[in-house]
Amino acid sequence: MKKVPLLEIFGPTIQGEGMVIGQKTMFLRTGGCDYRCSWCDSAFTWDGSQKPDLMEAQEIVTQLEAKGGSLFSHVTISGGNPALHDGLGEVVRLLQEKGIQTAVETQGSFWKEWMTDIDEVTISPKPPSSGMQTNWEQLDTYIHRLKGRQKKQVSLKVVIFDETDLSYAAEVHERYPEVEMFLQTGNDEWSTAENQWLLTHLLNRYEWLVEQALHSERLNDVKVLPQLHTLLWGNKQGV
């Protein structure tokens, strides 16, 4: 039985981003990432500042139930990059047996077979501002494997910090026009505890991104979203 390194189990709360924004859900946050994005807002999953617990699938499900009780029917797996961990396949299987829906987010750099069992997969390729490179052929294969599943969805989400990121997003959208596409404002102030200032700042960033998308013909069929949890709770971890 392969163990999974976990940094957080929390909820129920609201999914603040992307294709199921607003969804009532529990969160699992796995440790470890193969990327080092310059603006990573969950660097604590890989920079050694927080120590993960190595847990077996059944133990993870038991903890989810201890925290969520009867108040959830949806679990979101986040990271780090969850696709590093084989052991999540068993977690997903156990949750499905209980009729619980699952969602995951990954940058698409590693493939795991359990990915095909997930109800809502968000692939978030990283734009130039992250300092990372996109392997396009790998991304092609990834998306191809997840498209056209029965009653299961896949979407793309690109976090945008500047105009170079925007044209990268347009390139992604043009390469996969049939995949639902989300643009999201990045949080470049993830260490401040000044919530009122942060709120105004984030809404200004969001308005900027909306304006950019509205004026770009390449971005006609996109959805532009903020991070709702950050608007509500600032930079607090575990909500």
In the list 194, 207, 236, 238, the residue contacting its own copies (rule: CB under 8 A) is 207
Rounded to whole angstroms, the Cα distance separating 219 from 200 reads 25
In the list 9, 19, 28, 37, the residue contacting ligand SF4 (rule: CB under 6 A) is 37
Q: How far is the CB of 223 from its own copies (least distance, A)?
A: 4
In the list 3, 10, 12, 35, the residue contacting ligand SF4 (rule: CB under 6 A) is 35
Q: How far is the CB of 35 from ligand SF4 (least distance, A)?
A: 4
Q: Does 122 bind ligand SF4 (CB under 6 A)?
A: no
Q: Does 43 bind its own copies (CB under 8 A)?
A: no
Taking a C-beta distance cutoff of 8 angstroms, is the pair 137, 170 a contact? no
Q: How far is the CB of 81 from ligand SF4 (least distance, A)?
A: 6
Q: Does 91 bind its own copies (CB under 8 A)?
A: no
CA-to-CA separations, 164 to 83, 109, 161, 202, in angstroms, rounded: 27, 21, 8, 19
Stretch that binds its own copies, among 17-25, 39-47, 51-59, 114-122 (CB under 8 A): 17-25
Taking a C-beta distance cutoff of 8 angstroms, is the pair 154, 185 a contact? no
CA angle 151, 13, 16 (to 5 degrees): 70
Binding residues are 14-16, 29, 33, 37, 39-42, 78, 80, 124-126
Q: Does 23 bind its own copies (CB under 8 A)?
A: yes
Binding residues for S-adenosyl-L-methionine are 39-41, 80, 124-126
Rounded to whole angstroms, the Cα distance separating 185 from 112 reads 28
Q: How far is the CB of 239 from its own copies (least distance, A)?
A: 10
Q: Does 222 bind its own copies (CB under 8 A)?
A: yes
Rounded to whole angstroms, the Cα distance separating 85 from 59 reads 15
Residue 34 neighbours by CB distance under 10 Å:
13
Stretch that binds ligand SF4, among 20-28, 32-40, 138-146, 161-169 (CB under 6 A): 32-40
Residue 80's binding partner among its own copies, ligand SF4, none (Cβ under 5 to 8 angstroms by kind) is: ligand SF4
Q: Does 33 bind ligand SF4 (CB under 6 A)?
A: yes
Rounded to whole angstroms, the Cα distance separating 146 from 4 reads 23
Taking a C-beta distance cutoff of 8 angstroms, is the pair 131, 95 a contact? no
Site size for ligand SF4 (CB under 6 A): 12
> Strand 74-78 and strand 101-106: pairing?
parallel
Question: Smallest Cα–Cα separation from 12: which of 239, 212, 229, 216?
Answer: 239
Q: Does 115 bind its own copies (CB under 8 A)?
A: no
